[in-house]
């Protein structure tokens, strides 16, 4: 069975077209998003949908054969994005194969992150074994709110 080597959030990734090297740019452990206004919270409540933090984010999931010199078949993986309240906010599934290569990476791109409040958001990674999903790992990211300045309020920006 495929083994999860690692999973992590990053701002972006690139793959070298000559040697297939993966460059991970700006690994993310924390996100600071503007604090929602009361009108935004009210609109989200009425729509029964979470707020979203716009911006690109990618989850890099790296797999390996369980026995490196033995080709394996195809697998289906699932990533559940779970909010601080424990509820699943989104799900992505992907099929990958370890027949020709020892390693395989899958990427889950997010153009916006559903936000239900500050706290820890987790991407729970599972693989399908028979008819059941088996959790194999997770990556997490901490989200916090940045206070917005009040009209007319001055902010001092420190220079280091």
What confidence tens digit (pLDDT) does each residue in 26-62 have?
Answer: 999 999 998 998 899 899 889 988 899 888 899 999 9
pLDDT at 159: 55
Q: How do 3-15 and 22-27 pair as beta strands?
A: antiparallel
Phi, psi of 49 (to 5 degrees): -135, 150
Tell me, what CATH number does 52's domain have? 2.60.40.3880
Domain count, the chain: 1
pLDDT top residue among 146 and 9:
9
Count the residues in the chain: 160
d(Cα 156, Cα 46) in Å, to the nearest integer?
36
**Number of Cα atoms under 13 Å in the Cβ half of residue 67:** 5
| Confidence label for 73 from pLDDT (cuts 50, 70 and 90) | very high
Average of per-residue pLDDT values in the chain = 92
| Confidence label for 160 from pLDDT (cuts 50, 70 and 90) | very low
What's the token pair of residue 5? 């080597």
**Number of Cα atoms under 13 Å in the Cβ half of residue 2:** 33
CA nearest neighbour of 53 among 116, 9, 109, 11: 116
pLDDT at 152: 72
| 158 within a domain of the structure (yes/no) | no
| 21 within a domain of the structure (yes/no) | yes
| 25 within a domain of the structure (yes/no) | yes
Domain extent, residue 101, equals 3-146
What confidence tens digit (pLDDT) does each residue in 79-128 have?
Answer: 999 999 999 999 999 999 999 999 999 999 999 999 999 999 999 999 99
d(Cα 93, Cα 76) in Å, to the nearest integer?
7
């Amino acid at each position: 069975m495929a083994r999860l080597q690692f999973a992590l959030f990053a701002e972006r990734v690139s793959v070298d077209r000559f040697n297939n090297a993966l460059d991970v740019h700006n690994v993310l452990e924390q996100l600071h998003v503007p604090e929602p206004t009361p009108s935004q919270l009210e609109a989200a409540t009425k729509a029964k949908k979470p707020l979203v933090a716009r911006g690109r984010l990618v989850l890099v999931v790296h797999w390996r054969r369980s026995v490196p010199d033995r080709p394996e078949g195809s697998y289906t993986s699932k990533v559940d994005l779970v909010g601080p309240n424990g509820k699943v906010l989104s799900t992505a599934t992907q099929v990958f194969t370890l027949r020709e290569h020892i390693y395989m990476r899958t990427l889950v791109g997010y153009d916006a992150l559903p936000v239900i409040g500050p706290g820890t958001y987790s991407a729970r990674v599972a693989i399908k074994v028979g008819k059941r999903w088996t959790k194999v790992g997770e990556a997490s990211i901490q989200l916090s709110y940045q206070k917005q300045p009040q009209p007319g309020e001055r902010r001092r920006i420190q220079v280091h």
